[in-house]
């Protein structure tokens, strides 16, 4: 069979997405590949489709066993023979999976990395014809990646035990050059065909807010999105508990997810969310990897995540169906402290040696600094993200909080002089530069013990900005940093003046800074534009049919005991509503409808459509 044929028949798609074809061709030709695509870009297809055309078995290494079950179920439902092996399975289930694998019942086998070297699997692997080894979330193999998992290193030992080396296909959404080269080097990819696709997700609207009261801001945002499905991320388990309770008390169908819950509750809550029985998932970053729910229309972060990679991955769970979606980050300077604490007290990865831990921490702190930059920039947010991933872009996207915000140019020359001269004076007095906190305290005339011990209360700049809040002073320092008058020393986190500072201190240079106008001060039109991207999406005349199709999907999913998206994704239902097919032939034209699924569900949906149109005519 041809690959386009497989694409249509099994996956129900009419065309490939960016990068998929190149990678699939290379895999089919027996080449090693490295695919770098953003979350939601369609990496799975690059190994799932070849698996059906290659002889023998495709092994897929994937880090999160909680997701394997769903992935396998979705494949099976599309008529693709798939299985999985991981440590959360019972002895009985494992035995069955081994037996089926041995008899060639699967084309695709998902396996957790820590199972690779078990005696049972090693022995089994000797007998198998493995054509392809796909490594999903391949950044887990690198210490420089945001999620280093030493168990990924077992892949190498496993490969050495095989009688014949299969082709290797590695996939990740992490694009930093260091991680990429680590993947190639450590996995020993041989002359891999490498594809890096665009990271831009034009349907996502990014925004950073600095609310005085995050809980109130969150409630307001959710109120505008009551009928939508979304994720609210918090930095800590406690945060999740509190926010979830708050939302439930306000009548939101909210559920929660974090590593402190029992596996049963986690599974249940995740399923409730995926099946749309609850609309808001409040979670730590433990939630979401690999979750293929296409109708997430907002992702709100109550705290700043630890890295841009993490943020883009989490925020990227919105709008997978291509519909407009919002990614909103509620920032406060306290988030930096929390994130630092989490980095310095990381316990989740107890596989690491001390030395590895130190490398990882140092790296994490640099990444945190880059994430902080995102929260503080007044430039285009999309541009900031794309810069991070090394991708060229237009100077302004006109579809992010910053591009659409109204700014006033405020003359901050006097304040800038105070801040810069304070930084210089402190250095003159102590012989070294200090961090932001101490500068803010000095300017605000704090009676802090350390400050007094250092004698900073005797400086002429002491107390000059007494009337301003610490937050305001910090914000001005941030602006000065962004404008290039100050910089943070990456090693010591101290605040230092740049050469440009002299112009302000001694050359009469003026400093004007864009000041974000509060929404209340904005014009009516702009305010409306600020409203949710999703809310302002054009409504089509197919909304009711869409709802009817959704109801039909719910019914079928319940009858089969599977999550709704395993039947069809929202993108598929939307296309179905738009095309309103009347015959099986037309039904097969709907994006996401393959032959197996058409045979299984076609009749039910065609009936639902016919019933809808009849009701519409009367
Ligand atoms: P990733 O692993 O890169 O985050 P997935 O492989 O989970 O992304 O794919 C995300 C979504 O895109 C899935 O719902 C998938 O069915 C869909 N998809 C993948 N390839 C195509 C395609 N060629 N046409 C339409 N939809 C696709
Ligand atoms: Mg994936």
Nearest by Cα to 16 from 39, 38, 49: 49
Nearest by Cα to 179 from 388, 446, 432, 431: 388
Strands 495-497, 486-488: pairing is: antiparallel
User: What was the pLDDT predicted at 522?
Assistant: 46
In angstroms, the CA 333 to CA 471 distance is: 8
Nearest ligand, measured from the Cα of 293: 1
Position 517 confidence tier, pLDDT thresholds 50, 70, 90: low
In angstroms, the CA 93 to CA 96 distance is: 5
**Polymer length of the chain:** 618
Position 542 confidence tier, pLDDT thresholds 50, 70, 90: low
Residue-wise pLDDT for 115-169, tens only, equals 999 989 999 999 999 999 999 999 999 887 777 888 999 999 999 999 999 999 9
User: What was the pLDDT predicted at 341?
Assistant: 85
Position 65 confidence tier, pLDDT thresholds 50, 70, 90: confident
User: What was the pLDDT predicted at 198?
Assistant: 83
Q: Mean of the pLDDT values across residues 525-530?
A: 45
Instruction: Specify the residue with its C-alpha closest to ligand 1, atom 10.
Output: 40
CA dihedral 398, 386, 565, 58 (to 10 degrees): 160
Token pair recorded at residue 365: 């702190």
Q: Mean of the pLDDT values across residues 274-285?
A: 92
Q: Is the pLDDT of residue 49 over 80?
A: yes
CA–centroid distance, 264 to ligand 1, in Å, is 28
Instruction: Specify the residue with its C-alpha closest to ligand 1, atom 17.
Output: 42
Token pair recorded at residue 98: 């081994």
41 lines ligand 1 (CB under 6 A): yes
560 lines ligand 1 (CB under 6 A): no
3-state SS assignment for residue 253? coil
- Contact by Cβ (8 Å): 193, 155: no
- Contact by Cβ (8 Å): 41, 22: no
Burial class (CB in 10 A: 0-12, 13-18, 19+), 75: buried
Taken in order 95, 96, 101, 102, the sign of the CA dihedral is positive
Between the two ends of the chain, the Cα-to-Cα distance in Å is: 46
Residue-wise pLDDT for 367-409, tens only, equals 899 999 999 888 899 999 999 887 889 999 999 999 988 777 7
Residue with tokens 């009347």: 582
Instruction: Specify the residue with its C-alpha closest to ligand 1, atom 25.
Output: 13
- Contact by Cβ (8 Å): 34, 102: no
In angstroms, the CA 522 to CA 180 distance is: 44
CA dihedral 122, 128, 130, 134 (to 10 degrees): -40
Taken in order 425, 430, 436, 442, the sign of the CA dihedral is negative
Q: How many other β-carbons are positioned within 10 Å of the β-carbon of residue 307?
A: 26
Percentage above 70 pLDDT, the chain: 93
pTM of the model: 0.69
Distances (CA, A) of 39 to 302, 321, 543: 21, 12, 28
């Amino acid at each position: 069979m041809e690959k386009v044929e497989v694409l249509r028949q099994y996956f129900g798609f009419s065309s490939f997405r960016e990068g998929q074809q190149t990678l699939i061709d290379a895999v089919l030709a027996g080449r090693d590949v490295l695919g770098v695509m953003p979350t939601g870009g369609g990496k799975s297809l690059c190994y799932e489709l070849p698996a059906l055309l290659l002889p023998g078995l495709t092994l897929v290494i994937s880090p999160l066993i909680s997701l394997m079950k769903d992935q396998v179920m979705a494949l099976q439902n599309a008529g693709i023979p798939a299985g999985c092996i991981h440590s959360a399975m019972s002895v009985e289930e494992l035995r069955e999976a081994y037996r089926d694998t041995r008899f060639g019942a699967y084309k695709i086998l998902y396996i957790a990395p820590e199972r690779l070297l078990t005696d049972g699997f090693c022995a089994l692997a000797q007998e198998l014809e493995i054509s392809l080894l796909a490594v999903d979330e391949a950044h887990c193999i690198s210490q420089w990646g945001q999620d280093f998992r030493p168990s990924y290193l077992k892949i190498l030992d496993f490969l050495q035990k095989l009688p014949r080396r299969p082709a290797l296909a590695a996939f990740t959404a992490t694009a930093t050059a260091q991680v990429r080269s680590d993947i190639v080097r450590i996995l020993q990819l041989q002359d891999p065909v490498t594809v890096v696709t665009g990271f831009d997700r034009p349907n996502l609207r990014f925004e950073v807010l600095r609310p005085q009261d995050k809980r109130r801001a969150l409630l307001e945002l959710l109120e505008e999105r009551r009928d939508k499905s979304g994720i609210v991320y918090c930095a800590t388990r406690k945060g999740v508990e509190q926010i979830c309770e708050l939302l439930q008390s306000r009548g939101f169908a909210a559920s929660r997810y974090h590593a402190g819950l029992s596996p049963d509750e986690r599974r249940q809550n995740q399923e409730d969310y995926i099946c749309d029985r609850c609309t808001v998932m409040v979670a730590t970053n433990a939630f979401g990897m690999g979750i293929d729910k296409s109708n997430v229309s907002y992702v709100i972060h109550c705290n700043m995540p630890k890295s841009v990679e993490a943020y883009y991955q989490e925020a990227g769970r919105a709008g997978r169906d291509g519909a407009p979606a919002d990614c909103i980050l509620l920032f406060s300077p306290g988030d930096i402290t929390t994130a630092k604490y989490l980095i310095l007290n990381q316990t989740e990865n107890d596989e690491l040696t001390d030395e590895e831990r130190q490398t990882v921490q140092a790296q994490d702190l640099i990444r945190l600094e880059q994430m902080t930059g995102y929260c503080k920039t007044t430039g285009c947010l999309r541009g900031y993200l794309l810069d991070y991933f090394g991708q060229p872009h237009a100077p302004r996207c006109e579809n992010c909080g910053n591009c659409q915000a109204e700014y006033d140019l405020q003359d901050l020359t006097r304040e800038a002089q105070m801040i810069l001269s304070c930084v210089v004076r402190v250095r003159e007095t102590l012989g070294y530069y200090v961090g932001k906190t101490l500068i803010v305290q000095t300017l605000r005339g704090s009676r802090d013990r350390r400050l007094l011990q250092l004698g900073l209360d005797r400086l002429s700049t002491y107390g000059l900005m007494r009337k301003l809040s610490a937050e305001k002073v910090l914000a001005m320092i941030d602006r000065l940093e962004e404008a290039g008058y100050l910089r943070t020393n990456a090693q010591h986190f101290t605040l230092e003046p740049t050469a440009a500072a002299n112009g302000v201190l001694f050359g009469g240079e003026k400093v004007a800074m864009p000041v974000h106008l509060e929404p209340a001060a904005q014009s009516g039109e702009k305010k409306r534009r600020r409203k949710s991207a999703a809310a302002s999406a054009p409504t089509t005349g197919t909304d009711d049919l869409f709802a009817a199709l959704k109801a039909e999907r719910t019914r079928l999913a319940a009858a089969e005991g599977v999550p709704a998206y395993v039947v069809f994704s929202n993108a598929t239902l939307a296309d179905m509503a738009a095309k309103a097919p009347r015959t099986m032939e037309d039904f097969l034209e709907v994006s996401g409808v393959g032959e197996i699924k058409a045979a299984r569900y076609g009749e039910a949906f065609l009936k639902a459509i016919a019933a809808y149109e009849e009701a519409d005519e009367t």
